Structures are given as C-alpha cells and as structure tokens.
C-alpha cells in the first residue's frame, strides 16, 4: 500500500517513508491510498487472537512487506513485553451496559504507551537498518511526551525533544518527562498552552530546510503510525465482547486532538461494525461544537481537570475532513486555507448530516467530571481519572437501552491526583509513580518564542 498527503501535492510514499515523513512536505497529513476492508468472517476469526497477534494482522495490511514479518513480530512483542497486564489492554465490565477498556497498563500509565512503545521500537529499527539519524520532535498536552520519551530513551541513533506547556500539565505528567536524565532527551517547558507548542512544531516541520538539516521526525499523532497502532485496541475491545444479546456496541473516547477518535473512525471504515463513535471532551469543546453545529472554530482556552484534552486546535481533524470530502484533496486544501484566513471551517447540508451520522459528542463541565468520579467510586468501587470520567459522562448521555458502550480509560487516576483529591477520595499511588517525587528534574523553561525554541534545538541536535 502507498500513502499520499491529504493536500494532494506529495507523490505516493511507502510505509517507512511515511513513518519518517510524519507531516507531509506540503503541510498535509499522510493517509493510505486505500483503506483495507476486513470481512465479517475475518473479524470473527480475529476474535480469538491476543492483542499482539491482532496487531500483526492489522499492520500486515499496511506495511507493504517493507518490514520482514519476523522483524515486525519481534518489535511488537518487545513493545508490549513491559505492560503490567498480559492482555495489554484489559476489558473491565462495570455493569450490563458499560465496559471500560483499560489503556493505562504501559510504563507511563497512559494510553499513549500503546502506540509509542511500538513507535520507539520502529524508529530504532529504521535507524539501524537504514543507517538513519533520527531526531524526534514533538509537543504534548501531558501524556504523549512521557510515553514518547519512555519509548526511545537511551536508544542509539535517536534524540528526542518534547515541548510541554509550562505548569499546564499534571505534576505526575511533568515528573514522568522531566526526571529522565538520558543524554538523548531534552524537555522544553514552554510559557504558553499546548496549542502554542503544537503550532511551533507544525511550523518547524513545514520548514523543509530546517526539517531536512536536523533530520526531524514526528512522534505526535500527525504521524499515521500513531493512528494505526491505536486502531488495534478498537478491534480488540469490540472483539472481546461476546454474548452481547444482539445489542449494538458503542465506543466512547476521551479525545482532544482528534487522534484517538480518528483511530476509531479508521477502524469503522475498515469494517469494524461500531454503532456510535462518541467523542468525549471537556470545556475546550471545539469538537463538540463542530458535531452539534457544523462549525469548527477554535475558541478561548480553558484550564480544566482533564488537562490532556485542553486543546482548541485538533491536528487530526484534517484527516477526518479529507474523508468527509470524499478524499478530494483540492476541496480539503480550500477548507484549510479558509481556516487559516478566517479562523473557522463550516460544513452544512449533506456534509453536516454525515458528521452527525459519524459522531456523537459531549463537552463535559468540570463539576460534572468530578461528580462522575465520585459516583463510580461510590457505586462500583471503580476509580476513574478525569479524562475517563468525561468518557463515562458521554456514555451516560448517549448510551441507549439496546446498546452496550465501551469507554476508554486513557490514564491511571494516579496521574491526576490534583483532580481526584477535590472529590475527597484518597488514592494510593503505584510504586513507580510514588518514586518520581524523590527524583531530580531536568528541563529548560523557554518563552513561547519560535526563535528561542530553535536555538535550544540547534544546540541539542548539533
């Protein structure tokens, strides 16, 4: 399979070149020329597979045989060998209409580990077999940074720099990034919010001279491999539910940057018969407003109890818009130019009807988030992190009597104790998280200034 840009101005690339490119040279996002469709019979056969086996089956439809099967298999089993649950992403039944897919059993206790442990192995593999120098550059609203650093720390031939918004991530998220002292890791704490960090990243990847000179590679979900790896657990969750009594299966997804929910959209296009894809977000509700009104317009930034979703510019929205426009790169470019010029995108008519067929969405207020955490701890003795609580609130809003919903638990509650403590709940931290508070931090605080960030990168990458 080959890959092209959503903007249509880049010649088709193979799988590994797509991995290395991240953001396309024309500013678009890379997508497969054709999405493979999995038959119902094959889906039924996949029901008995382990997470790792399912991962290999799905990726085999996308890698073009560029990576020998045995090499890919070794990467996959190495990637998930350090997860605390043998299932990798275990499914927990809360009640007859609700399951929670626990995505936080990786080394940094967040869902980003599922994709980024693999991406770390993949980048290391490419660096060795191609003799490539790989300098990873990314921005994080909290979880991506820690997971990306954990995936590549100490790996030969790779350096990684992560930008995070200063004092706008949880303390545990900050510590997971900044207590790493490997020489191939640089943490830049940017005076600004996540959107400010992400804007600088996109500008640097769009500067082809700078990108080429410093061998920049993407770790954010602008890289299609992130999307594809996340698709695996949609299939895994769906296929783990047996004897649903004919009930339809929904999936509720905490999502701020549109990456996690777009992975579900991709899974559905591949043939996974998901009933409703439910977007759960917080008071930075650009995605909810788009689903409800057809207008995609960044608004004012609000700090919330679910900081990983404190995002107003969802980078993967462009991929969805590409498919909404029937893969018309010319129309997509016009819409993106309009966003740059007017600050918004509006869809109406049949397009808006399709948006509402594709998604339901709920922006959860801070107090509702805390109330949901308290309710599920009291009624089910199950503690939710604030992002997962948003997903549960969205399930309550949209789940029907003839439906079962899987909500993704995107982080362990210990990562967001500041919010949990507001409910009066006291939790016991896992030992690896408790140990972070005794470790020295390593980070550089910089102004929200592209030139200042570039100077740091030049010194680090050499």
Instruction: Quote the tokens at residue 460.
Output: 């680090």
Do residues 191 and 446 make contact, with C-beta atoms less than 8 angstroms apart? yes
Q: Reading across the β-sheet that carries 98-102, which strands appear in turn?
A: 91-95, 98-102, 403-409, 248-254, 277-281, 359-363
Cα–Cα distance, 177 to 170 (Å, whole number): 11
Cα–Cα distance, 213 to 271 (Å, whole number): 41
Catalytic residue among 73, 112, 211, 375: 112
Instruction: Quote the tokens at residue 356.
Output: 């509402």
Do residues 138 and 160 make contact, with C-beta atoms less than 8 angstroms apart? yes
Please give the C-alpha separations between residue 26 and each of 7, 9, 71, 376, 411, in angstroms, as whole numbers: 7, 6, 32, 46, 34
Residue (of 315, 301, 160, 345) closest to 224 by Cα position: 315
First-to-last CA distance in the chain?
35
* Whether residue 112 lies in the annotated active site: yes
**What does the CA dihedral 190, 208, 145, 297 come to, rounded to 10 degrees?**
70
> Active-site residue numbers?
112
């Amino acid at each position: 399979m080959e890959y092209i840009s959503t903007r249509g101005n880049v010649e088709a690339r193979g799988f590994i070149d797509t991995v290395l490119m991240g953001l396309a040279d024309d500013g678009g996002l890379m997508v497969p020329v054709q999405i493979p469709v999995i038959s119902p019979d094959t889906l039924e056969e996949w029901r008995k597979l382990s997470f790792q086996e399912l991962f290999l089956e799905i990726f085999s439809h996308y890698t073009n045989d560029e990576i020998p099967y045995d090499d890919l298999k070794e990467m996959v089993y190495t990637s998930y060998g350090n997860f605390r649950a043998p299932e990798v992403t275990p499914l927990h039944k809360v009640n007859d209409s609700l399951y929670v897919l626990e995505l936080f059993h990786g080394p940094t206790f967040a869902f980003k580990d599922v994709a980024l442990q693999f991406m770390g192995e993949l980048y290391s593999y490419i660096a060795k077999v191609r003799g490539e120098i790989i300098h990873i550059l990314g921005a994080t609203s909290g979880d991506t940074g820690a997971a990306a650093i954990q995936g590549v720390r100490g790996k030969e031939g790779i350096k990684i720099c992560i930008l995070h918004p200063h004092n706008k991530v949880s303390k545990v998220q900050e510590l997971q990034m900044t207590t790493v002292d490997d020489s191939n890791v640089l943490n830049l704490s940017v005076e600004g919010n996540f959107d400010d960090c992400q804007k600088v990243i996109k500008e640097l990847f769009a500067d082809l001279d700078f990108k080429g000179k410093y061998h920049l590679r993407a770790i954010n979900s602008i890289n299609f491999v992130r999307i594809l790896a996340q698709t695996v657990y949609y299939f895994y969750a769906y296929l783990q539910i047996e004897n649903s009594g004919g009930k339809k299966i929904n999936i509720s997804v905490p999502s701020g940057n549109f990456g996690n929910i777009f992975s579900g959209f991709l899974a559905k296009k591949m043939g996974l018969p998901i009933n409703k894809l439910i977007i759960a977000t917080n008071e930075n509700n650009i995605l909810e407003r788009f689903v409800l009104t057809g207008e995609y317009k960044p608004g004012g930034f609000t700090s919330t109890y679910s900081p990983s979703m404190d995002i107003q510019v969802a980078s993967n929205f462009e991929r969805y818009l590409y498919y909404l426009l029937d893969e018309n790169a010319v129309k997509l470019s016009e819409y993106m130019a309009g966003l740059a010029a007017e600050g918004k995108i509006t869809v109406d008519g049949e397009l808006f009807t399709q948006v509402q067929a594709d998604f339901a969405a709920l922006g959860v207020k801070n107090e509702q988030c805390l109330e949901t955490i308290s309710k599920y701890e009291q009624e089910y003795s199950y503690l939710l992190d604030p992002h997962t609580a948003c997903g549960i609130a969205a399930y309550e809003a949209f789940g029907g009597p003839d439906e079962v919903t899987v909500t993704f638990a995107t982080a362990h509650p210990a990562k967001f104790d500041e919010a949990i403590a507001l409910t009066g709940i006291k939790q016991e931290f896992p030992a690896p998280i408790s140990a972070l508070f005794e470790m020295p931090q390593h980070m550089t605080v910089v102004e929200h200034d592209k030139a200042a960030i570039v100077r740091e990168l030049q010194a680090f990458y050499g």
